[in-house]
Amino acid sequence: MPIEHSPLHVLLFLCSLAAGSAATELIPNATTSSSCPSYRCGHAVDIRYPFWIDDTSAGNASASHYCGYPSLRLECRRETPVLPLPSGDYAVTHILYSDRTVSLFDLGVFSLSNTCPLVGRNLSLPSGSPLSLTARDTSLILFIHCTFMGLPSHLVACLEGDGMHHSYVFRDGDELMPHGYAGLCQDVIGMPVLRRSLPGAGAGGSGPLDAIVPALNMGFELSWSPELHGECGQCERAGGLCGRRRQAVHEAWTFACFRAAATSAWIAPRSPGEQHRSNTPFR
């Protein structure tokens, strides 16, 4: 299960991004060779295969290989692991390897000086990414800067802007969601949150922000699927760990299958008519 984050936790987390220096520590991994290390960025998250830290983002332009999925590349920014996605940057707060889930916090949601949600982007994942939302996620749907007057109980007053446009928030699946009025809004944004972060949302409290802010503070989670096909799938089925290698800084990255500590060779898949097992060395 992902770790819950209180508003104080988020404030301290954001402060850590605002001060300090980037630091990535490589930690020996008992289950893999030195080609596939674990990492420590800060002190809260254990980063290991299939995730990896991009050393080039910290100024190490001479990196010659990495071990992990290309789309699960993390950057260590001021002792905080960050997952860059097409929709923006997301801080990694927890990785549960046994469940193949990663907990994230959208760095574009809040600033230290603004307690109103800074909305403006839908979650977007890379094409072909092994990442996906989980059944434990839902969405908050925000209708931003609309020209119609809607339900006061769904109004987000701090996003009013010029006073002539209004913003509203709904839970995904809410029967009162004004789908037919979306064209009267500047934008409609879906922001993922954990289902359990919204108990009784809209009931009690002084307004919808009483539900929005705690839910966004808690973040959301993504799951990842193991590679099943291609070179990486073949490598993993044989007990290896896939990654990339290059001979020089300006050369292109090429696929590499790294040997796990308990694996001595990459066993190529056998065809039905094959009588003998053939071994291909790991790279």
- What is the predicted pLDDT for the residue at 146? 92
- What is the predicted pLDDT for the residue at 262? 42
Give residue-wise pLDDT tens across range 20-50: 434 434 333 333 344 578 888 887 788 999 9
The conformation of residue 142, written as its DSSP 8-state character, comes to E
Residues 6+ apart with CB under 8 A from 103: 2, 3, 92, 93, 94, 95, 96, 219, 220, 221
The conformation of residue 3, written as its DSSP 8-state character, comes to P
Determine whether 281 is exposed, middle or buried from the number of CB atoms within 10 Å of its CB (0-12, 13-18, 19+): exposed
- What is the predicted pLDDT for the residue at 36? 79
CA 103 to CA 282: how far, in whole Å? 33
Residues 6+ apart with CB under 8 A from 8: none
Cβ atoms of 265 and 282 within 8 Å: the answer is yes
- What is the predicted pLDDT for the residue at 12? 44
- What is the predicted pLDDT for the residue at 19? 41
What residues in the chain have per-residue pLDDT under 50? Answer: 1-3, 7-8, 11-12, 14-15, 17-34, 201-206, 262-283
- What is the predicted pLDDT for the residue at 65? 85
Count CB neighbours of 175 within 10 A. Answer: 5
* CA quadruple 249, 253, 255, 260: dihedral sign: positive
Amino acid in position 47: I
Determine whether 249 is exposed, middle or buried from the number of CB atoms within 10 Å of its CB (0-12, 13-18, 19+): exposed
Amino acid in position 107: L
CA 116 to CA 161: how far, in whole Å? 12
Give residue-wise pLDDT tens across range 189-198: 999 999 998 8
pTM (two decimals): 0.75
- What is the predicted pLDDT for the residue at 277? 35
